[in-house]
């Protein structure tokens, strides 16, 4: 996998996660988070997700990508549901955010 291909896969995922992260905070506000911090977290999140997708698509296979990203979304969202008492809407939105990011990565890397 070339660095250029990774960057081209990362860019739309980064845009998606930054946009939906800000959208979720506006739609389902829970706690005040500085916009810069939220953007930085979404960018790092997109890098990690892209690298994981690269590993999945280049070595392990192409099938079942949606299940991997569904489980990652649950892994990311469940602590907020349990510890901070976020609603089920936030859980579903966070999982959908990851599955759609996975769809972008499947399109770019698959």
Domain boundary assignment for the chain: 3-109
Distance (Å, whole) CA 73 – CA 96: 7
pTM for this one?
A: 0.76
> Residues 91, 31, 11, 73: what is their CA dihedral angle, to the nearest 10 degrees?
-20
Could you give the 3-state DSSP secondary structure of residue 68?
A: helix
Quote the pLDDT of residue 47. 92
Please tell me the predicted confidence (pLDDT) of residue 101: 93
Q: What is the pLDDT of residue 26?
A: 61
Q: What is the mean pLDDT of residues 45-57?
A: 89
The Cα 69–Cα 50 span in angstroms is 11
């Amino acid at each position: 996998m070339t660095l250029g291909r990774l960057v081209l896969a990362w860019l739309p995922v980064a845009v998606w996660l930054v946009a939906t992260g800000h959208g979720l905070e506006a739609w389902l506000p829970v706690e005040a988070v500085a916009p810069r911090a939220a953007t930085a977290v979404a960018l790092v999140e997109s890098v990690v997700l892209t690298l994981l997708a690269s590993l999945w698509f280049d070595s392990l296979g192409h099938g079942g990508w949606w299940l991997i990203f569904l489980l990652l979304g649950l892994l990311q969202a469940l602590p907020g549901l349990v510890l901070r008492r976020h609603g089920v809407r936030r859980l579903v939105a966070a999982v959908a955010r990851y599955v759609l990011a996975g769809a972008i990565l499947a399109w770019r890397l698959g």
